[in-house]
Structure 1
Amino acid sequence: MSKTVLTEVLTGVRSPDWTLANQQYLMTAIDQIRQLLERAAEQSAQSKQAMQAKASAPSLHRSSEEIVWPVFSPPDSAPDSESTLDRLCRLLQLSTFERSILLLCLGAELSRLFGVLCAQIHGTSQTACPTFGLALSIFPEAHWQALTPESPLRVWRLIDIGAGTELTNSPLRIDERIAHYLMGMTSIDQRLQGMMTAERVERSVLPASHQAIAQQLAVIGLDLWPAPVVQLCGSDGATKRIIAIAAAAEQNKRVYTIAAETLPTELTQMNTVLCLCEREAILNEAVLVLDCDRISSSTGDGHFAQLNLSVDRFIENCRQPLLVTSRDRRLQQTRSLLSYEVHAPTTAEQREIWRREIGGSAIARNFHPSQNGSQNGSQNGSNNGLQASTSASSINRTIDHLVDYFNLSAPAIKATCKKVQQLSSQNTEHTSIPDLLWNTCLSQARPQLGELAQPIETLATWNDIVLPEKEKQVLHTIAAHVRQRSQVYENWGFSGKSRRGLGISALFAGASGTGKTMAAEIIARELNLDLYRIDISAMVSKYIGETEKNLRRVFDAAETGGAILLFDEADALFGKRSEVSDSRDRYANMEVAYLLQRIESYRGLAILTTNLKDSVDQAFLRRIRFVVQFPFPDTKQREEIWKCIFPAATPTKDLHYRRLSKLSVAGGNIRNIALNAAFLAADDGAQVEMRHILLAAQSEYIKLERPLTDSEVRGWVSEATQALS
C-alpha cells in the first residue's frame, strides 16, 4: 500500500483529486443504471400490456444488454487507490446484482428522473420508487438471494425495505450513511454519534514494554477470521488507547472507540448498534475498541446490570477485530478473551521519556536553579535534588527525582512538559523549571477517587503537633523513608534482596483528637505530596469482589502521583480476623489479604489510623513498617497545645494556659473549644478571654456527654464568672 493511500486509511482524509474522481466514477456507474431504466421504460410505453405481464412474473425478464461498468482511475493518485463503491462491494462481498440494486437506490435519492422512470416501468405513479421486482426485471445476473435476510444488503442494512403487500413490490431505499459513504464522506454514522469516536492517529514512540504488547497484538492478527477478542486491563486509559492505535497501525487500520456506558440496554436497539459498529469498522478498515473503563464488570443491580448484559452481548456477538479496555478483567460466558495487563512504563522507560520530552523542548534551554529551594524540601534544609543548574546533570537529577515520586504514563509526561513549557513563558513569579515540573506533576497525577477518598489540605507544620519526642522522631523517620526510597532500594540495591515489604506503611493508634490526622498532614506537607482520607465504609461492597476493585481503584489512582493514603478508623476493615464459618467470612479475609498485598507493593506511603490498637489483628500489625502510639496528652502537653492553638492574628486577653491545661481533653477537643471561643468573642466584639473559653468548654463537654468538673476549672472559673457578671 502506498504512503498516500496509507495516510488516507489511517486518517480518513481524502485528497480533493480523489474525491472528485470518486464522485465522477460513481455518477458514471449510476448513469449506467439510468440507461437500463430508460430502455425498460421505453419498452413499457410501447407495450403496456406486455410489461404488465412481465411484472407479474419479473424473474423471467432480463435486459438484453449487459452493464459495462467504468474503470476507476483518479488523476495523479496511487495506482492502488480504490473507489468507495468498489471498496464497499469488495469488503461486504456484494454480487454484481446487489451492486446494481444499491446504485439503483442511490440514483433514486440523487435524481427525480429515477422516480419518474420507476413509475413508468411499474405502470403507476404511485410506485415511483425502486422495488425488488423492478430490479429482477431489468438487471442481468439477477438472483433471489439478494434480498434474503442472510444477504449482505440485509445483514449490513445497506437498504431499507418499506411496507408492501409483497416483498417484490415493497419500496427500497438506500441507507443514509451508505449513501454518504459512497459519495466519499468519512463521518461516522449519525446514529453512533456520542457513542463511537474515530481516534486521532498520532505517531508516538512507545516505551519498549508497551511496544511489545502492540507488536504481540499485531502478530496474533487483528485481521484474522474469526476475529480475536483482546482485553487490555489497567487503570491508565490513555496508555491503553495508544497501544490500541499502534497495534492497529501495524495492520494499516484505524481505531474506532465505543464508550461502553453509552450502549443501549434494549435488545433490538443493541443489535442495531452492534451491526452499525461492525459496518463502520469494515467499511473504514478499522479496529473496534470497546472502552469499559467507566463501568464495573460486576453484576450490580438496576441499570448497571442491564448495561453489563449489553456489554456481554456486544463482546459475544461482534465478529470484527475487537479490543476491550477495562480496569479489571472481564469474564465472558462462551467467548474467551486474550488479556494483557497494561502497567505504567518502567522507571528506566519513564526517565527516557522525560529526557526525550525535555530535551526536545524549550524547557531545557530555560532550566535554571530554584531561587527559593524546592517545594519538596524538608524544613531542615535537606537537598531534594530540585536545586538545578543549566547542566545536563542537573536536568538528570531533576528527572530522577520526579521518577522517584511520580509514576506517570507517556501521555501524562508529554502533557506535563507541554504545560510547563506554557507556564515558563508566562512565569511572572520566576518559579524555577524544577518547581514548575514538580507542581505540574502533582496536578497531572492528582487522582480522581470520587466518593472513595477525600483530599485533605495540608496546612499543619511540625510546630503545630505536641507529642513525646520519641513518637515525633518516628514521624521524621517515616518522612525520611519516603524521601530516600529510591536511593536505598534502587541505588543501594535493597530491592534486589526481596520484592516483599518494599511499601512504606504506618499505623497511627490513639484516641480521637490525639493528632493522628495532623501527623499525616505534616508528613504530606514535608514531602509536598497530596494527602487523601479513604472512606473505608464506601469501599466495602456487598457484591463479592467489588471491595477489591474499589481498593484497586484507590491504589492505582494514588500510585500515579505518590499520594499519601490515610485509611481512617482502619480497624473497621483490619480488625482481628474471624474464623471462617461462611462464605462472607472467607471473602472478608480475602479483602484484608488483598489490601495487605497492595500496601506492601505501594510506591507511596499508606497510613492507617485506629482508636483501638488492640483490636487490630496481630498478623496484620507484623506487616506494617511503623506503629506510632499517640498518647492522650498530659497536663504539660495540653498546656503546650493551648499556647499554640490560637493563630497569631487572633486577639487574646489574660489567658491562663496552665489553668486551661486542667481541661482533660485531647488536642482535637482543645481546637474545637478554641475555635468556638473565637466565634463567641468575635460576636461579642471583644478579644478572646477566659469567659469565652468557659462557654466554649461547656458546649464541648455537652457534646462529649461529660460533666465539666470542679478540678478541671478550679482557679479560672470564678474569674470568668466575675467577668461575665
Structure 2
Amino acid sequence: MNNPTTNPQENNNLINLNQHALAVCQNLEQYLASVKNQTPIESFTSLPQLPSHPTLAKLCTVFNLSPFDRYILLLCVAIELEPYARILCAEIHGNERLAYATPFVAYKTFPDATWSAFNPDSPLIEWQLIELKTEQVFTQSLIKINPGILLYLLCDSFNDPQLQDIIKPVSINSRHLFIPLSHQQIVSQIVEIWSRSTEFFTENSLVQLCGDDKRAKTAIAVGAASSSGTDIQKISLYWLVTILNSPAGSLNQETFIKLYSRFALLTNNILLIDCDDINLKEPTELKLLNLILEKSLQPIIILSNTRLNLGDRSTVTIDIPPLTANEQGTLWQIHLEETAAELGEYIDTLTNQFNLPATAIESACLHSLASMESSIKTNTDFDLKTALWDN
C-alpha cells in the first residue's frame, strides 16, 4: 500500500506506517515459526530500528502507552494497511474467519504482554484509541484502531467525527476580515500575550474578549490566530448545551468531556469559545464551561457580552471598543463597493449621525443595494442615500 498521495508529508507518514506494519507482520511470522519449530519467539523490539514516526511517538507520550500498548496499536495499523497481516492473524487463530487482530494474537506475539492492556481503564480503551468489540470468547474479540486515530497517524491532524458538529473551524468572509486600527492593536496585544509565558500567565491561559459586536470579536480572534500561524476552531456553548440536553441526542456531558479531553491532548489549535448567547448565571452552564477550560491545553479565546468570573484560571480580559468614525467610514466604503464613490461626503454624514458596529453597517449596505438592484429591474425611483439612512 505505497501509492503516493498528493501531500508529501502524508505520503511520508504512509510509508513510515507501512514499514511499522511490515515489522508487525515479521513478528507474526516469527511467532508462527516458533510454534511450528517449538522455539521461543523473538522480541518485537529486537527488530531493526525503524524511522521515527513523530505522531506515533506523541500518542505514546501523551497517553503514557506501554511498549505492549504501542504494539497493539501497530497491530491494528497493520490490519488496516497490509492485507498479509490479516492472513497471518487467521493462521495464528487456525480459523480463516478470524482474519483480524484480537487480544489472543496481541498477547501471544509479544513477549512482555499483559492482559491488563484490555481493561476498561487502560489507556488504549479509556481514551478510545482502539475499539474492542467484545465477543462471547473474549480472546477472539475484534480489535480495531479508532478511525480518527488512524487518520491522525496518517495526516498529522486529529478530527473526531463525534465532535464535528460541536467543534468547528472558524470561517469568516474575506470582506469581514477588515480589522480596523483600534482592533489591530488588540490583535497585537493578544499575540504578545501568547508569546510571553510567565509564572502566572502561560500561553494556554485565557483571553476574554468582551463587547456586543460578535463579528468584531471573531475577526480579532481570527487575526490573532493568523498572526500566530495557528488554526482556530470554535465551540458555541449555546449549541453545545442544546446538544447535550437533547433527549434524542447520543452525547452526554461525561462522554463529551472525555472526547474533548482527547481532542485537547492531540491538537494545538487555538480554541474560540462563544459564550455570547448563553445564560452564564445558570450553574450548570458555568460548570460545563469550567470543565472545558479545565481539560484545555491550548490557547483559548472566550467571547462574551460581559466579563465572566472564571475562577482561578489566569485570564486577560479585553473590552472591545466601538469603531471610530473613520473606521466606520471605511466599512461603509468596503460594503458599498463602487457605489461608495457616488455618495461622496454622505458617508461622513452617516458616520457622524450613527455609531454602528460592523454587522449593522453590512446589513444596511446589503439591504440598500438589494433594493437599488430591484428598482433598476422594475424601473422605479430609488434614492440610495435615503435607503441607507432608513436601514
TM-score, L = length of structure 1: 0.43
Alignment correspondent of 1:275: 261
How far off its partner does 1:216 sit?
1.2
On the 8 A contact 2:27/2:44 being kept in 1, the answer is no
Structure 2 CA distance for aligned equivalents of residues 42 and 355 of structure 1:
71
Alignment correspondent of 2:284: 306
On the 8 A contact 2:237/2:278 being kept in 1, the answer is yes
Cα 1:207–1:20, aligned 2, differ >3 Å: closer, same or farther?
A: closer
Alignment correspondent of 1:173: 144
Aligned match for 1:216, one of 162, 181, 189: 189
Aligned match for 2:101, one of 104, 107, 130: 130
Larger RCO, structures 1/2 (Cα 8 Å, 6+ apart): 2
Q: Summarize deviations over 1:390-447 as a string: whole Å, max 9, x none.
A: xxxx622x223322343322354345445544443333333122123223xx3xxxxx
Matched, 1:404 2:352: yes
Alignment correspondent of 1:344: 322
Structure 2 CA distance for aligned equivalents of residues 235 and 438 of structure 1:
22
Aligned match for 1:292, one of 262, 275, 282: 275
How far off its partner does 1:255 sit?
1.4
Give the total of aligned pairs: 367
Paired residue secondary structure (1:257)? strand
Q: How does 1:445-594 map to 2 (within 5 A)?
A: none
On the 8 A contact 1:344/1:409 being kept in 2, the answer is yes
Q: How does 1:631-710 map to 2 (within 5 A)?
A: none
* Structure 1 unmatched ranges of 5 or more: 1-16, 55-59, 71-84, 300-304, 368-393, 443-725
On the 8 A contact 2:332/2:340 being kept in 1, the answer is no
Q: Summarize deviations over 1:96-147 as a string: whole Å, max 9, x none.
A: 9576654432332355543332243456667643357755776899999998
On the 8 A contact 2:34/2:40 being kept in 1, the answer is no
Matched, 1:427 2:375: yes
Cα 1:269–1:33, aligned 2, differ >3 Å: closer, same or farther?
A: same
On the 8 A contact 2:21/2:77 being kept in 1, the answer is no
On the 8 A contact 1:160/1:173 being kept in 2, the answer is yes
Cα 1:86–1:336, aligned 2, differ >3 Å: closer, same or farther?
A: closer
Matched, 1:197 2:168: yes
Cα 1:143–1:221, aligned 2, differ >3 Å: closer, same or farther?
A: farther
Q: How does 1:230-379 map to 2 (within 5 A)?
A: 230-261=207-238, 262-263=240-241, 264=244, 266-279=252-265, 282-283=266-267, 285-299=268-282, 305-358=283-336, 361-365=337-341, 367=342
Structure 2 CA distance for aligned equivalents of residues 329 and 320 of structure 1:
21
Structure 2 CA distance for aligned equivalents of residues 196 and 223 of structure 1:
27
Structure 1 CA distance for aligned equivalents of residues 350 and 93 of structure 2:
77
Cα 1:68–1:416, aligned 2, differ >3 Å: closer, same or farther?
A: same
Structure 1 CA distance for aligned equivalents of residues 115 and 297 of structure 2:
26
Q: How does 1:54-133 map to 2 (within 5 A)?
A: 61-62=43-44, 64-69=46-51, 86-87=54-55, 89-90=57-58, 93=61, 101-110=72-81, 112-121=83-92, 128-130=99-101
Cα 1:23–1:207, aligned 2, differ >3 Å: closer, same or farther?
A: closer
Q: How does 1:594-613 map to 2 (within 5 A)?
A: none
Q: Which residue identity is paired with 1:175?
A: N
How far off its partner does 1:152 sit?
7.5
Aligned match for 1:395, one of 331, 335, 344: 344
Cα 1:127–1:247, aligned 2, differ >3 Å: closer, same or farther?
A: same
Cα 1:400–1:110, aligned 2, differ >3 Å: closer, same or farther?
A: same
Structure 2 CA distance for aligned equivalents of residues 87 and 427 of structure 1:
59
Structure 2 CA distance for aligned equivalents of residues 223 and 173 of structure 1:
42
Cα 1:131–1:212, aligned 2, differ >3 Å: closer, same or farther?
A: farther
Q: Summarize deviations over 1:326-376 as a string: whole Å, max 9, x none.
A: 112222343243211123212332233334554xx22135x2xxxxxxxxx
Cα 1:316–1:86, aligned 2, differ >3 Å: closer, same or farther?
A: closer
Structure 2 CA distance for aligned equivalents of residues 144 and 249 of structure 1:
46
On the 8 A contact 1:52/1:123 being kept in 2, the answer is no
How far off its partner does 1:311 sit?
1.9
Structure 1 CA distance for aligned equivalents of residues 158 and 354 of structure 2:
39
Alignment correspondent of 1:413: 361
TM-score, L = length of structure 2: 0.75
On the 8 A contact 1:164/1:170 being kept in 2, the answer is yes
How far off its partner does 1:218 sit?
0.9
Q: Summarize deviations over 1:184-242 as a string: whole Å, max 9, x none.
A: 49794321233222112656231122112211111111796561112112222111111
Alignment correspondent of 2:6: 19
Q: Which residue identity is paired with 1:413?
A: I
CA RMSD of aligned residues (A): 4.2
On the 8 A contact 2:73/2:130 being kept in 1, the answer is yes
Structure 2 CA distance for aligned equivalents of residues 167 and 427 of structure 1:
74
Cα 1:64–1:21, aligned 2, differ >3 Å: closer, same or farther?
A: same
Alignment correspondent of 1:29: 16
Q: Summarize deviations over 1:642-683 as a string: whole Å, max 9, x none.
A: xxxxxxxxxxxxxxxxxxxxxxxxxxxxxxxxxxxxxxxxxx
Cα 1:312–1:137, aligned 2, differ >3 Å: closer, same or farther?
A: same
Q: Which residue identity is paired with 2:193?
A: I
Cα 1:357–1:46, aligned 2, differ >3 Å: closer, same or farther?
A: closer
Structure 1 CA distance for aligned equivalents of residues 190 and 116 of structure 2:
37
How far off its partner does 1:275 sit?
2.0
Q: Summarize deviations over 1:23-65 as a string: whole Å, max 9, x none.
A: 54344334323433433343344342677975xxxxx833543
Cα 1:152–1:86, aligned 2, differ >3 Å: closer, same or farther?
A: farther
Percent identity over paired residues: 26
On the 8 A contact 1:44/1:120 being kept in 2, the answer is no
Cα 1:187–1:145, aligned 2, differ >3 Å: closer, same or farther?
A: closer
How far off its partner does 1:176 sit?
1.9
Cα 1:142–1:298, aligned 2, differ >3 Å: closer, same or farther?
A: same
* Structure 2 unmatched ranges of 5 or more: 246-251
On the 8 A contact 1:231/1:324 being kept in 2, the answer is yes
